[in-house]
Chain A
Amino acid sequence: MSTSPTLPLAFDEARKSGGFLSSLLSSDFPRSRILTFILLTILVVLAATPFLFSGSQPLSTAAKICVFIVLVASYDLLLGYTGIVSFAHTMFFGIGGYGIAIALERLGATWSSVAIGLLAALCLSALLAVAIGLLSLRVRAIFFSMITLAVASAMAVLASQLSGITGGEDGLSFQLPFELRPAFKLFSEPVMGVAVNGRLIAYYLLFFVALIMFLLLLRIVNSPFGRVLQAIRENEFRAEALGYRVVAYRTMASVISALIATVAGALIALWLRYNGPDTTLSFSIMIDILLMVVIGGMGTMYGAVIGATLFVLAQSYLQVLMDAASKALAGVPLLPNLVHPDRWLLWLGALFIISVYAFPGGIVGRLRQARQ
């Protein structure tokens, strides 16, 4: 049995090496030097953003990257590892955001209301995910995509209509607990030239929760449970024939993914001190998530880090570049329209299609191939 060629080699090697790092990453290493380097750079820059850059813009971008890494990684659990496409991921993201927003607005700016809001949101997400899963996954995985799309859009309409609870289109602004406000100072003296205030604490809260969530997801996909999910993705009938209850596993994956998306929604609400339909619930965010997962690399987890970072940076800086190109091409018919800064999704969409065809493993898959 030890010479059985069916077991993936990398998996075996990782098992033997052991050690702290191995257990931290659940034996799932980046497996490419360039990838390791990029990931480490992202980790270090995100960890040190408050000390590396001044001003609020870079910090906000970094916070957004952290949240989207969690959101995209949790989506990858569904898309990349379980092989089902959900369009309700922003719904759970939104539930997390609204949970925090409504609780902090109604119950006052205390830590206990954060806890209550988060718990309520988690319960609602779990319930909805189970209901959707049992309703749609029984028949055919393709139902799941359509039903999640329908349910998510109904929830978005509901959130904008029930303005008494959710603030409607305007959304909700709220106060944070005192320790997370800019006025709160942990030390009276600045550390390394940076004032350690509530904003900084909020950022590090975000950063560490995101890191823990990512490592947790890495743990889940490399557990026996995760292996079963991948087996179902590869061959549903075979997995069923081996005695795994496909519907139960898929539903479970959808619930886990929903719960983690809810946490991500809570994080973004805490960071923005605001939640509204456009920040968490809109369909365009769903498309963003899809783009991030596929371009980063489906079924790799690390792809979520690369995809989210690349996308958020592109969102902020690609448009500047396209603006310049558009101005340079002024006078040529149609072309300036195509490189107009508002058309940046056109190019990412094209990249997305090419990714699905040419390198299904996304950037991460490409880098790993290059090593071999």
Chain B
Amino acid sequence: MTEMAAGTTTSSEPLPRAKTDLLPLLIVPALALLALPFVGSGSTWVTLTVAGLAMGMMIFLMASGLTLVFGLMDIINFGHGVFISLGAYATLIILGPLAGWAQADSVWLNLGLLALCILAAMGVTGIVGAVFERIIVRPVYGSHLKQILVTMGGLIVAEQAIHAIWGASPIPIPLPETLRGAFIIGDVIMERYRVVAVGIGLIVFIGMQLLLNRTRIGLLIRAGVENPEMVEALGYRIRRLFVSVFVAGSALAGLGGVMWAFYRQTLTAGMGMEVMVLVFIVIIIGGLGSVGGCFVGSILVALVANYVGFIEPKLALISNILVMALVLIWRPQGLFPVARR
């Protein structure tokens, strides 16, 4: 025992760098290239790929919060979908008074409106997330079974509350004027809104990566994922970290909800739960708790759905399940297994 301790202290070699696992990253471009001959025309392929990327980014926005919360707190939040719905409904707070901005023929005014919607949604879902964590989730730390049940209950109550506040019928929300339509470059058609979605998704992903890998808070979060007891023993308040990550995760879901709402252009209280199916598939594929895996998984699922939908529409309905099954057969823990648990 003492020899071992002595051995570790005397070795002056730096810690070996964590191995980067490139194989899953290669799947996405490989898949895209593989699909090319089946799709046939190159311009259709580009259109499909961009559309798939946009879809993937939106799924990533909605899923990233959930996987982060799971990784850090070992909490599985089946009520996550309600933050997506809530974020979507929160746009009404902005769209009501600022309806003029949406019709204005100015890119900046339209994008500003979108930004305001996102801010409002993130604010609302962040606050509700804090309340949700305190009332619903905190008493059931440590028991997955109870977490699933209680967050399901929270979902039911919150969905019904949305019905009670905003009414039960679907609400149409129009896309801002300049975000409608598509860019047409040669034969390639790219919907404008999808390009915006790719942009926002990339910004969030890069921001999250920088935050997690380059800042002190990110270091603490990653350490908390590895070993929360040790972080606590070193004098950091892990609870405060937990709550802020939960709030951030909820706010990210709200952001995803806004993007998803403008994409669908209708609001229903059940829209979050509908998309949760995809979200769960994505975080299982990525490996529970892994943000990078979640990103790769989102794009993988969305691209496969788009290609398969074009080549063989009937199969598209179950393509997600097939992708998930194949990934799990290959790596039962998901693409990027998180070390602990």
Contact = CB atoms under 8 A, between A and B. Distances in A.
B170 interface: no
Nearest to B321: A154
A342 B321 contact: no
A10 B296 CA distance: 53
B160 A283 contact: no
Nearest to B280: A146
A357 B139 CA distance: 8
Contacts, number: 106
A84 B325 CA distance: 20
A338 B76 CA distance: 28
B144 A340 contact: no
Counting chain B residues whose Cβ lies within 8 A of the other chain, the interface size class is 35 or more
B318 A346 contact: no
A161 B318 CA distance: 11
B280 A346 contact: no
Contact of A145 (B148, B160, B277): B148
Given A154-B318, A342-B163, A343-B164, A139 B156 contact: no
B325 A135 contact: yes
A157 B317 contact: yes
Q: What secondary structure prevails in chain A residues at the interface with B?
A: helix
Interface string A333-364: 01001101011011011101100110010000
A326 to B, nearest CB: 11
Nearest to B164: A337
Contacts of A345: 156, 160
B157 A151 contact: no
Nearest to A143: B284
A356 B280 contact: no
B145 interface: yes
Given A287-B156, A356-B153, A147 B164 contact: no
Contact of B164 (A83, A146, A346, A348): A346
Nearest to B318: A154
B261 to A, nearest CB: 20
A353 B150 contact: yes
A293 B276 CA distance: 23
B208 to A, nearest CB: 22
A246 to B, nearest CB: 15
Contacts of B161: 346
Chain A to chain B: the 10 pairs with minimum beta-carbon distance, closest first: A349-B156, A346-B160, A353-B153, A146-B280, A349-B157, A352-B153, A337-B164, A153-B277, A85-B148, A139-B332
23 contacts: A85-B149, A135-B325, A142-B148, A146-B281, A150-B320, A154-B277, A154-B320, A157-B317, A161-B314, A161-B317, A291-B156, A294-B149, A342-B168, A343-B160, A345-B160, A346-B157, A346-B160, A349-B153, A349-B156, A349-B157, A353-B150, A353-B154, A357-B140
